[in-house]
Structure 1
Amino acid sequence: MLRKTLLLFISIILLNPLNAQDKGMIKGRVFDSKTNEPIPFATVIVYGKIIGTTSDFDGNFVIAGLEPGWVELQVTAIGFKPYISEAVMVTRSKNIFIDIPLEEMPYEIESVVVKASPFRRSEEAPLSLRRIGIDEIERNPGGNRDISRVIQSLPGVAPSLAYRNDVIVRGGGPNENRFYLDGVEIPNLNHFATQGASGGPVGIINVDFVREVNFYSGAFPASKGNALSSVLDFRQVDGNSERLKVKGAVGASDLALTLDGPLSNNTTMIFSARRSYLQFLFNALGLPFLPNYNDFQFKTKTRIDTKNEITVIGLGAIDEFELNLGLKNPDEYQRYILGYLPVNTQWNYTLGTVYKHYASNGYHTLVVSRNMLNNRQYKFTNNDDNLPKVLDYTSWEAENKLRYERDLGLKNYSINFGAGLEYARYFNSTYRAKFIGETFTPDTYETNMDLFKWNIFGQVNRTFFAKLTVSLGVRADASSYSAEMNNLFKQLSPRLSASYMLKPNLFLNANVGRYYQLPPYTALGFANATGSLVNKTNGLSYIQSDHLMAGFEWQPNEQSQITVEGFMKFYNKYPVSKNDSVSISSKSADYGTFGDEPLVSTGKGRTFGVELLYRNKKLLGFNTLFSYTLVRSETSLMNSNLKPSGKWIPTSWDNRHLVTLTATRSFKKGWDFGFKWRFVGGPPYTPYDLATSSLINVWNVQRQPSLDYSRFNSLRLQSFHQLDIRVDKSYYFQSWMLNFYVDIQNVYNFQGDRPPLYTTVSDTSGNPVVDPNDATRYLLKKIEGTGGGTVLPTIGVIVEF
């Protein structure tokens, strides 16, 4: 199959069909971002070229005669800040529609010449905010059109375990992030998500929907709460208003179909569905597990009139994870994986409606949404359903959310304020056979919990003397879970950002803030055999993090940007496991569940470091991004009373050094080329307690070694580096577009370091061998050849008509 696809790819390239004579067209509308009023006579030109036009009385514009490819628009209008749009793909087969929101320029800075730049700045978050365009996502080498992997190229973001998309930002755990889709909060970003955290191996969001991504690694807006490390704000495209468009794609792991077009004169829609074929690929490769996923996504937008619009979004996934029990003559590693890995089925969805009403001095936003996650896991002894279960887990969590926001402009002030109310339900039925040390302590409980949450927030921005921009925000959160959590003033989180323009292209930025996050439902709902909430009795509270950061931003010219930022984060009230005295943050990047154990809110943590980012849109013709991060991430060592001892040990996210170089370039005749090189410092890991692991009773239940938490993260892996490359070839016909790409990960086959794995010594029949010197133990042996690293080629095909 691979050989035939390669031959087809090569033959189409060699044939090089004739290009159609028609060129592409962009249509759009320029309007005031606060009032939605059209802006007439705005100048709209193709960025970097001399082709352009002006908007009419209704703010509409048309630019025709464009060559196919990625295009950005530069827009200027009297009294408004200049704007450079995100990139859009121009083809011959369809017209592009783009909305251009312009911000009114305060009268204080009208005398200052403000130049347009593709690196747009934000008043409320003048630092620690990165914008990612769809062109960067589509062509990212090694990314395979997966947004989470693209984010890992940014400063401060570290990749996690192999084949996972955990977002690890500035030394914080994958459970510390929040995601928004057109203003609607979505609970997770990946298939096969870790319940209670955010990771998984494959992203859910279809990049065909994405317009741009705002990635906050600090200085979070007050309107977005419950995050400690990052906020990802996804902005989606609107549907095509002229005709139905169809797009099909075959990628590294799935087939995708996207429909995009009008539903009525004032309503557009975009819908997609994807189905994976990973289970067939994994079975052919002889892997011991067979993942299978499906997902859907849709968006409709109705412009009722010039003052009112309604957006409806939906996102959902169905994931099935089975064991490959049909393997013939499995090796030691395959038997090891089959021995402990459970069967897992999971589904989730989010539905949301956003109503926006524009007034004379701003707009009102009302967001109503519901999301739900259902998680089922089970494991039979020896994978034999005639033997007892060692795991039987069923859980679901559902949230119903209502949020109101008011954005307005008053003279020199930009103000945002609002409030939110949530009603959540959580159900869990668990039987988990497990050992704590040498003691068999199974979890057996059932929880059915109701929870209310509420919040208020406000933020005000102002520019002084045309040089100093200040943003002051405050937020307060509370929940009905317990007396420790139901007081808004106990979770009061102020934040202050400032940016000073030293020169027109040089800024000094700073931020200080306090942020709170609710522990996961798995922790809140953990119960004992009688159904009593264990962690409510333990006084579990919100997690607190204080941020302090400062840095410089320099734009040597319109095409380049250099930023240097130093950051410090101090954690307080972090949940610590009563079973092993370890903060749960270091446990949040593994499959299954996270946080469902007895906890106390006594942990402390700290991360600190410095980030360097260099971006150049045209460095030797390449769109180049270079980032370097020096980061330290530490957690408090707990004493016997589960209190901080005053000593610090590394967390699982203490990579120290992170380096990424990404470069992409478009060539003539539809060719694109890109490469990405990454260097990641070796993370710490915890050695095994082989003495406990070898006990027959322990091994028969766990089927994998027990960690020695008394030596938590005392060892460290070797550093890792990898080169990925991608080549695209696109053909633009009059009524359709065809794109082929080849993506190769780990080109030079670097063999990454992994913690050692141990299994039992087996006899000729495959049965564990008992230690001849101790009848209570098995003989254990190290599994050889489990280092990570392989060349991974992918061929993709995208057809649009």
Structure 2
Amino acid sequence: MLPVVALIVCFALPCTARQGGFTVRGRVVDALSRRPVPFAVVSVYGESGHGASADSLGVFAISGVTPGMHRLSASCMGYKDMVSDEFLVSATLPPVVLELEEDASVLAGVTVSATPLRIDKVSPVSLHLIGMGEIEKSPGGNRDISRIVRSYPGVSFSPIGYRNDLIVRGGSPSENRFFLDGIEIPNINHFATQGATGGPVSILNADFIREVQFYTGAFPADKGGALSSVLDIRLRDGNAEGNNFKATLGASEVSLSASGHVGRRTTYLFSVRQSYLQLLFKMIGLPFLPNFIDGQFKVKTRFSEHDELTVLGLAGIDDMKLNTDEEGEDAEYLLSYLPRIKQNTFTVGAAYKYYSGRNVTTVSLGYNYLYNSNLKYRDNDDSSPDNLTLDISSHERKASLRAENRTYGERWTVAEGADVYYARYDDNSFQRLYAAGGRTDRSQSAAIGMVGWGAYASARYKSSDERLTASAGLRFDGCGYSSPMARVWDNVSPTLSVSWRFVPSVALNAAVGLYHQLPPYTALGYKASDGSYANKGLRYMRVANANVGAEWNVSQAMVVSLEGFYKQYSRLPLSVADGIPLSCKGNDYGIVGNELLTSTAEGRAFGLEASLRWQKPGRFVSVASVTLYRSEFRDGSKGGAYVASAWDNRFIANVSGTYELPRNWSVGAKLSAIGGGPFTPYDVDKSSLVEAWDAQGRPYLDYSRYNTGRLDAFCQLDVRVDKNYYYRSWRLGIYVDLQNVTKSVLRQPDVLMSTGIVENPGAPVAEQRYRMKYLPQESGTLLPTIGLTVEF
């Protein structure tokens, strides 16, 4: 209600926006030496004649720039032309730093012009660059990076926006890796699924993001541990010449962020956010009440033009209670199995960079922490200890140190680095289980600590005419968990990619690679009944990845691409209990991996992606993509036919666009469609047993018929409208984001549920059965989000 009132008040305000535009200030520096580039020509990209020349210290000022999203272009003799990242021109815009790369060569008859679509990318295939404009105004994205990347090819999505599980090219949510200014983050979501990387709400503050490099294949050698995707998130720096603040009131949370400086050499960013989802959920009658708090900061100090230190941190505190006062069959079912969840997570890191001519040396230190608690009583009655069915309390800690040197030559860029880490996992848990032999109460107290290590080297070559680009990398990984995992020669990850631009606007691209990932700590810390660690036989998971495609730069504003991919998985953990790979789990609340596993599962995913990106800075941006694919697995120890994996939706299609209208209005829409996912029928006989149902409070699946059913396809339309008011010293922004405007209905299999009535009370306890019933599972409501931001 509060955001609605604020919205009405804001639309009633007179439109007294700043006339004459704003002045954009900044400096131009050499990307390697960090020294000023004097007399460079800087202009607003796409607006001919609107620019200025830098002075002898590289400082420039462009007056009369209209408010809104813009890019700058810069050029100077002896340097390559460049186009900057997007930034929002307003009263609070800090000075812009433009980095130019030297160009000592004479191009052989080829003219390479600057473009916002950036032809010269780190990886020629499977890399997507996401700017501030998309993050700010992506329809249905709600400024959540995990949702925004769904517009790109190969990325599945959770219909109706229930969760942020990142499912890329038929891979598991546990196969992704996240980096924040080079510091690894285990998970970027609140209420995370331990052992995977998903959750319903992002922890990251989108205000801080400058650019995102999203790899869906061909991962660089320095980003180890990924099998499906890498999100390399680059943060902007704080305001070096002033202090400004931004307050946001959304449909579910309130936040405050700040950007500024301390002295002449140190800048800072910080934010804090508090949700009030628990109040809204209680008002609309939902049976669970999530609440979260998060915070983020970045401090950067430039000791000189040659060296700098960045310190950053990210923290989240989550608490999900159960609303047991709610009535109705749907609430009754959710309350029957959802646990009380508490989570604390944080990451802190520091990175020191030294610029020495053509060499850049980086040393970074990071620390990650996760505390996860799940508590559940049968019928949510904690009056008796006998009702306890789940009590898990676990911690994950990881301290890592990395050193890297990168050398930039005229034709070659070479990097070499090494990292070492210490990880510790402890778990004190109780679980009530049901197997063929009847009910089992399982308790364990586990604690493991291990040292891990890695080393990598990579080289990138670019021909004198810039038509041929080739990259090669080699990475070694190992850890002290077991003898097989310590053998680094068994976990070698070689990569090779080539791009040939046979005409200036068309390129053929190809990449192959082998990648490895450590199984989750929950699996490594699982104990057998005799107290030994039962999964010592696990090995690093492996995927061989091949990509081939073509890219056509139709113009400086439009690029069309076609890419095929093939992924072959091996050494995946397989559940001994149900014969299903661990990679087919992890898109629900709770924990995955805490069971007996063997590294015998195999899998494959293959498909074809087509995409179009059309962008004119300050006007519009549009992304369209279509993916056709298959995702399958099998038990490699038995061979046989492949079976559809949990992520085998067969097709994904997205069309999204945002258009800037006069008077600082913008409107955007996204149409998304996804094929029906496979599902497994219930084991009615097992689920109806009183002991079985009471153990987990939800039905059991019939794994002998795993994924033999398939849901209907689903399509939804999201719409977003933004309005900004720009004043002399502050900005007011209002937005309305409507998810599933068409109220499309998502139909899932009817849920099998106990009525609580025992049909044969006179039978032995092990044979007693509940009378069962089915609950229809259909959802398709319109999800509105209304937000208000004030920046000053």
Q: What TM-score does the superposition give when structure 2 sets the normalisation length?
A: 0.96
Residue correspondence of structure 1 range 685-704 to structure 2 within 5 A? 685-704=679-698
Could you tell me how far apart the structure 1 residues matched to 2:547 and 2:578 are? 33
Task: Structure 1: give runs of 5+ residues left out of the alignment.
Answer: 762-766
Contact 2:618 2:660 in 1 (8 A): no
Do structure 1's residue 499 and structure 2's residue 494 form an aligned pair? no
User: Equivalent of 2:667, from 669, 673, 693?
Assistant: 673
Checking the alignment, whether the CA contact within 8 Å between 2:108 and 2:464 is kept in structure 1 is: no
* 1:626-654 Cα deviation digits (max 9, x unpaired): 11011110111x3xxx7142310111111
| Aligned match of 1:566 | 564
Please, what TM-score do these two structures have when normalized by structure 1? Answer: 0.95
Verify the 8 A CA contact 1:191 1:203 in the aligned structure 2: yes
Helix, strand or coil for the counterpart of 2:609? strand
Question: Pick from 735, 738, 758: which aligns with 2:752?
Answer: 758
The answer as to whether partners of 2:400 and 2:420 remain within 8 angstroms in 1 is: yes
| Offset of residue 21 of structure 1 | 3.5
| Distance across 2 between alignment mates of 1:450 and 1:358 | 36
Cα deviation 1:70-109 (Å, max 9, x = unaligned): 1111122233332211211111x22332222223336263
Any idea what the Cα deviations from partners look like across 1:515-558, whole Å, max 9, x if unmatched? 0000010011111244311001xx10000100101101111111
Residues 15 and 247 from structure 1, CA distance in 2 versus in 1: closer, same or farther, beyond 3 angstroms?
closer
Match of 1:576 in 2: 574
The Cα of 1:58 is off from its aligned counterpart by: 2.9
Rounded Cα–Cα distance in structure 2 between residues aligned with 1:66 and 1:112: 33
Alignment of 1:514-553 (within 5 A): 514-536=514-536, 539-553=537-551
Structure 1 residue aligned with 2:487 = 487
| Aligned: 1:590 with 2:588 | yes
* Deviation per residue, 1:152-183 (Å, 9 max, x gap): 11110001365100111000000000000001
1:113-140 C-alpha deviation (Å, 9 max, x unpaired): 1011111245541111001011101101
2:234 aligned residue: 235
Pairing of 1:76-115 with structure 2 (within 5 A): 76-91=75-90, 93-105=91-103, 107=105, 109=107, 111-115=109-113
Q: Deviations over 1:769-798 (max 9, x none)?
A: 4258976111111013x2121011111000
Question: Percent same amino acid among aligned pairs?
Answer: 42
The offset of 1:589, in angstroms, is 1.1
Residue 31 of structure 1, aligned match among 10, 29, 32: 29
SS of 2:612's equivalent?
strand
C-alpha deviation, 1:473, in angstroms: 0.6
Residue 351 of structure 2 aligns with an amino acid whose one-letter code is: V
Question: Which runs of 5 or more residues in structure 2 are unaligned?
Answer: none
**Match of 2:710?**
716
Per the TM alignment, residue 731 of structure 1 is displaced from its structure 2 partner at its CA by 0.5
Q: Which amino acid aligns with 1:740?
A: I
Instruction: Give the CA deviation at 1:488.
Output: 1.4
Match of 1:355 in 2: 352
* Equivalence for 1:367: 364
**Contact 1:695/1:776, CA 8 A, preserved across alignment:** yes
Change (3 A) 1:619 1:18: closer
In structure 2, the residue matched to 1:428 is: 427
Counterpart in the other structure of 2:772: 780
Q: CA deviation at 1:444?
A: 1.6
User: How much does 1:34 deviate?
Assistant: 2.7
Kindly indicate whether the alpha-carbon contact (under 8 Å) linking 2:95 and 2:241 is maintained by their aligned counterparts in 1.
no
Partner SS state of residue 135, structure 1: helix
Is the 8 Å Cα contact of residues 29 and 100 (structure 2) preserved in structure 1? Answer: yes
1:170 paired residue number: 169
- Which deviates the most, 270-279 or 378-387? 378-387
What corresponds to 2:786 in structure 1? 795
Separation in structure 1 between the aligned mates of residue 423 and residue 112 of structure 2, nearest angstrom: 46
Partner Cα separation in structure 2 for residue 644 and residue 205 of structure 1: 43
CA contact (8 A) 1:628 1:658 kept: yes
Tell me how far apart the structure 1 counterparts of residues 381 and 6 of structure 2 sit (CA, whole Å).
45
1:147 matched residue in structure 2: 145
2:118 corresponds to which of 102, 120, 139: 120
Per-residue CA shift, 1:691-750, capped at 9, x if unaligned?
Answer: 000001111122110011111111111001000101111101112111111111110100
Offset of 1:383 from its aligned partner?
Answer: 1.1
Deviates more, 1:172-181 or 1:42-51: 42-51
Whole-Å separation in 1 of the counterparts to 2:338 and 2:520: 23
Question: Is this contact kept in 2: 1:123–1:470, CA < 8 A?
Answer: no
- Post-superposition Cα deviations, 1:22-48, rounded to whole Å, max 9, x if no partner, equal 632222232232332322222211110
1:570-597: CA deviations, max 9, x gaps? 0010010011111111112111111111
**Residues 1:509 and 2:509 are matched in the alignment:** yes
Q: Secondary structure at the match of 2:759?
A: coil
The residue that corresponds to 2:602 in the other structure is: 604
AA aligned opposite 1:660: N
Name the CA shift for 1:109/1:530 in 2 (closer, same or farther; >3 Å): farther
8 Å contact from structure 1 (residues 190, 201) kept in 2: yes
> More displaced, 704-713 or 53-62?
53-62
Distance 1:18 1:411, change over 3 A: closer
Match of residue 61 from structure 2: 62
Whichever residue aligns with residue 224 of structure 1, its letter is K
Which letter does structure 1 place at the counterpart of 2:526? F
> Separation in 2 of the partners of 1:25 and 1:619?
18
**SS at structure 2 position matched to 1:522:** helix
Judged with a 3 Å threshold, the aligned counterparts in structure 2 of structure 1 residues 580 and 395 are, in CA distance, closer, same or farther, namely same
Q: 2:51 matched to which residue of 1? A: 52
Q: What secondary structure, in the 3-state scheme, does the structure 1 residue paired with 2:482 have?
A: coil
Matches within 5 A, 1:201-350: 201-327=200-326, 330-350=327-347
Counterparts of 1:398 and 1:224, CA distance in 2: 19
How far off is 1:252 after superposition? Answer: 2.9
Match of 1:764 in 2: none
1:131 and 2:122 aligned: no
Q: Secondary structure at the match of 1:523?
A: helix
